[in-house]
Amino acid sequence: MDNSVKSLAGHRILNSTKISKMISDLVAAVQEEEKALGAIREPLAEALDNGKRVFDETGKFRGRALNYQFVGTGAGHGPYVEVEDGSVKMDLINGIGVHIFGHGNTRIREAAVRGALSDVVMQGNLEPNHEYAKVTKKLIELASKNSRLKYAWLSTCGTMANENAYKAARQKNTPAKLVIAMQNAFAGRSTMMAEITDNPAYKEGLPNYNEVLRIPWYDASNPKSSEDILRKFKEHVANNPKQVAAFVFEPMLGEGGYRTAPREFFIPILEFCKEQHIAVWADEVQTFMRTGEMFAFETLGIGQYIDLCTVAKTLQTGATLYTEEYNPKPGLVSGTFSGSSASLSAGYEAMEILTTGGYLGKSGKIQALHSEFIGMLNRLNETTCKGQLREAGGMGLMIAVTPLDGSKDKVNKLLQVLYKNGMIAFSCGRDPYRLRFLLPVIMQKADIEAASKILEKSILEMLQ
């Protein structure tokens, strides 16, 4: 560690070669046990009873059955994860986008162990440890390269990061309180974020506070889409003078269907926001680290417009980034937790690996994986699964495809068939429902080949 002071016990622990060696030996011993998990495996006869009991009990005690017969054993290897029934699955959803380096990654695990050795389990905003300081600094070093973002405030999930962003926008632009959001947006699970989320199934029985105005997402098939949406945006502002505090958008629509939009779509809207002093808030909870640059606002080249940006998932905790003007007054944001020592340490390491390992940029590993995976989906769609895997697309490690007839029922059934055949994926969008993948960046050609076989087998099974 730079600037380390020998008389400090904490610094001696960080610099101890003895402790470092023990951490790597420990991780290596764990990995030795995981060596056999590098390929898909059927459930094991001797583990089936235990698996069923664990799955049933997990559902029973949380009051809702598991979506998949999945409880992990805590062991995994690359894209593969071991399940309590003895099966090994290829995990292409990764905790909905958290495990960007897959399972059992050496550097991430060592960093997590190192964090776990801290004197405290959870860190907070009042008494942070050095991991908190490093994560905050790193986020801002990265974000400020291509934006005006200057500060970062940690919280423990995307929802809370979003709450803090919205509060900062409302405080700065008070008494304006409305937010303009996209149709099919997803923003999280708190009361306010459920309101911003445009999915009735996620807010059944909740009141509507009428604080969200909607614009449609970009429609590539309509040449007037950008113009029409800009007009709609302006209408909302004209109908609610000085009432709109923020415009929130996912740089690529996530839950809503993995839809992309070009830079030219965003720019006039963002210019208008600047004119009207409406906060521009990019919800990068899902896109952070995944689109080929650290931030999707960099991939799209819209960084200069961003006032607030929220991240989580791959960071292993949550954060709200803001500019000088949107730095909230001291009483507005706080919270007991900013993350566990292990998660902060691992989140920092994730940023280190991604920025130094050749992953970013047009010729980086993320873009290469994107092209290969999309190529594989298109090949299936043109050959053995003709017309059954349409509109493969997305950005970087976020990929979706419309399978079969795109109905909810078929897609949900397909997901279960995929699971049975060894692959964990998920859905997104509505009418059509799409098959969604959050690829781990460590996927190799052989894994893509294995994914292709499972997809083909499962689609053909569905067509029988």
Ligand X SMILES: Cc1ncc(COP(=O)(O)O)c(C=O)c1O
261 lines the binding site for ligand X (CB under 6 A):
no
Tell me which residue of 421, 428, 429 sits closest to 462, measured CA to CA. Answer: 421
Nearer to ligand X, 198 or 255 (CB): 255
Q: Tell me, what amino acid is at 85?
A: D
How many binding residues for ligand X (CB under 6 A)? 16
Residues of span 112-151 touching ligand X by CB under 6 A: none
Distance in Å from the first CA to the final CA of the chain: 60
Least Å from the CB of residue 186 to ligand X: 5
Tell me which residue of 460, 453, 146 sits closest to 294, measured CA to CA. Answer: 146
312 lines the binding site for ligand X (CB under 6 A):
yes
Residues of span 92-111 touching ligand X by CB under 6 A: 96
Residues of span 12-41 touching ligand X by CB under 6 A: none
Residue with tokens 């094991």: 44
Torsion sign (Cα): 401, 404, 407, 410: negative
Question: Please, are residues 297 and 306 in contact by the beta-carbon 8 Å criterion?
Answer: yes
Give me the residue whose beta carbon is nearest to ligand X: 158
Nearer to ligand X, 199 or 416 (CB): 199
User: From CA 387, how far away is CA 256, in angstroms rounded?
Assistant: 22
Least Å from the CB of residue 313 to ligand X: 6
- Range in contact with ligand X (rule: CB under 6 A) among 29-37, 221-229, 247-255, 401-409: 247-255
User: From CA 317, how far away is CA 6, in angstroms rounded?
Assistant: 30
Nearer to ligand X, 80 or 186 (CB): 186
| Distances, alpha carbon 161 to alpha carbons 186, 211, 321, 461, in Å | 14, 19, 9, 42
Tally helices (H) and strands (E) across the chain.
15, 17
Tell me which residue of 87, 53, 93 sits closest to 72, measured CA to CA. Answer: 87
Nearer to ligand X, 194 or 442 (CB): 194
- Range in contact with ligand X (rule: CB under 6 A) among 46-54, 222-230, 281-289, 401-409: 281-289
Least Å from the CB of residue 310 to ligand X: 7
Q: Which two tokens stand for residue 184?
A: 């099919």
Least Å from the CB of residue 157 to ligand X: 4
CB contact set of 206 (below 8 Å; sequence gap of 6+): 191, 194, 195
Least Å from the CB of residue 197 to ligand X: 8
Least Å from the CB of residue 152 to ligand X: 16
| Distances, alpha carbon 164 to alpha carbons 161, 226, 244, in Å | 5, 29, 17
- Range in contact with ligand X (rule: CB under 6 A) among 122-130, 168-176, 278-286, 400-408: 278-286
Alpha helices in 205-314 (DSSP H): 225-239, 263-276, 296-299
Within 10 Å of residue 210's Cβ, how many Cβ atoms? 8
281 lines the binding site for ligand X (CB under 6 A):
no
Least Å from the CB of residue 201 to ligand X: 15
Nearer to ligand X, 80 or 266 (CB): 266
Residues of span 313-352 touching ligand X by CB under 6 A: none
- Range in contact with ligand X (rule: CB under 6 A) among 25-33, 118-126, 215-223, 248-256: 248-256
Least Å from the CB of residue 46 to ligand X: 36
Draw the binding track, 153-192, toward ligand X (x: CB under 6 A; -: no contact).
----xxx--x-----------------------xxxx---
Nearer to ligand X, 198 or 349 (CB): 198
Question: Please, are residues 104 and 31 in contact by the beta-carbon 8 Å criterion?
Answer: yes
Q: What DSSP string describes 332-349?
A: T---S-SEEHHHHHHHHH
Least Å from the CB of residue 88 to ligand X: 26
Nearer to ligand X, 312 or 342 (CB): 312
Alpha-carbon Rg for the chain, nearest whole angstrom, is: 23
Least Å from the CB of residue 101 to ligand X: 18
Q: Which of 129, 136, 286, 314 binds ligand X (CB under 6 A)?
A: 286
Positions touching ligand X (CB under 6 A) are 96, 157-159, 162, 186-189, 250, 254-255, 283, 285-286, 312
